[in-house]
Amino acid sequence: MSVKKSLDTILQKIDDAVLHCGRESGSVKLLAVSKRKPLEMLQEAYSAGQRLFGENRVQEAELKVPQMPDDAIFHMIGHLQSNKVNKACQFFSCIQSVDSLKLAKKIDNRCKSLDKIMDIYLEINISDDPNKTGYRVDETLLSDIEEILELNSVRVKGLMAIGAHVEDRAEIKNSFQRLQKLNDDLKERFQAYIGTELSMGMSGDYIEAIESGSTMVRVGSAIFGSRE
């Protein structure tokens, strides 16, 4: 299937799911995860109207972003190493994978000198999976977020998580609902926390994520094909 066809199909499915659970049309954005896919496929998606793209490696973004039109927006969704922060701040409009105070401070510092405010999401390890990155839901998260909210050159828009890696659909949905609940708790606890964005749901589970309040689904293989 062509990229355009797949995109149309996914957008239709997102819209159906949004309406099916009584949410407002257009309340879920699609981040097209283009990691390890050639530039031509991103351009094809762009021609079909897609503007939001997700990449997980700084080196790859460095090659792709300058070759895409200015209004293509790139979000970083992969683990970000300290030594890549400078370039990440240059090529990405949003960093969804912030998982430490140290990283947030580095981004803040860099953006200060670039005279730019970076949108960030805190990545949460919602299933407490030892193989996954992201914050555990614990005291460190609470004390870090308090400090991160005081930084002037980053804006914490919300949370990002990968759903439980299991077969059981109910358990997957459960993990998304835990993220939604955490977001509500954080909004209640911290005045400065905006928390308007919940980035959750991938090719295999975006319907469950939408049913659980996702505002952005990150879909790769269902649009661009499998990545080998």
Q: Is 156 in the site for ligand PLP (CB under 6 A)?
A: no
For residue 175 the two structure tokens come to 């993990």
- Least distance to ligand PLP, CB of residue 32, Å: 9
For residue 155 the two structure tokens come to 């804006």
Q: How far apart are CA 181 and CA 52, in angstroms?
A: 26
Q: Is 209 in the site for ligand PLP (CB under 6 A)?
A: no
CA 165 vs CA 39, 149, 175, 181, 224: distances in Å? 29, 30, 10, 19, 21
For residue 167 the two structure tokens come to 């077969």
Site string for ligand PLP, 77-116 (x = CB under 6 A): xx--------------------------------------
Instruction: Please report, for the chain, how many H helices and E strands are present, in that order.
Output: 9, 8
Of 78 and 195, nearer to ligand PLP (C-beta) is 78
Stretch that binds ligand PLP, among 37-45, 106-114, 140-148, 197-205 (CB under 6 A): 197-205
Q: Is 56 in the site for ligand PLP (CB under 6 A)?
A: yes
Parallel/antiparallel/unpaired status of strands 118-124 and 94-98: parallel
- Least distance to ligand PLP, CB of residue 88, Å: 15
Q: To which residue do tokens 């700084």 refer?
A: 58
For residue 153 the two structure tokens come to 């050159």
Among positions 29, 35, 57, 112, the unique one binding ligand PLP when judged by CB under 6 A: 35
For residue 79 the two structure tokens come to 């683990």
| Residues of the shown chain interacting with ligand PLP in the complex, contacts defined by CB under 6 A | 33, 35, 56, 77-78, 162, 202-204, 218-222
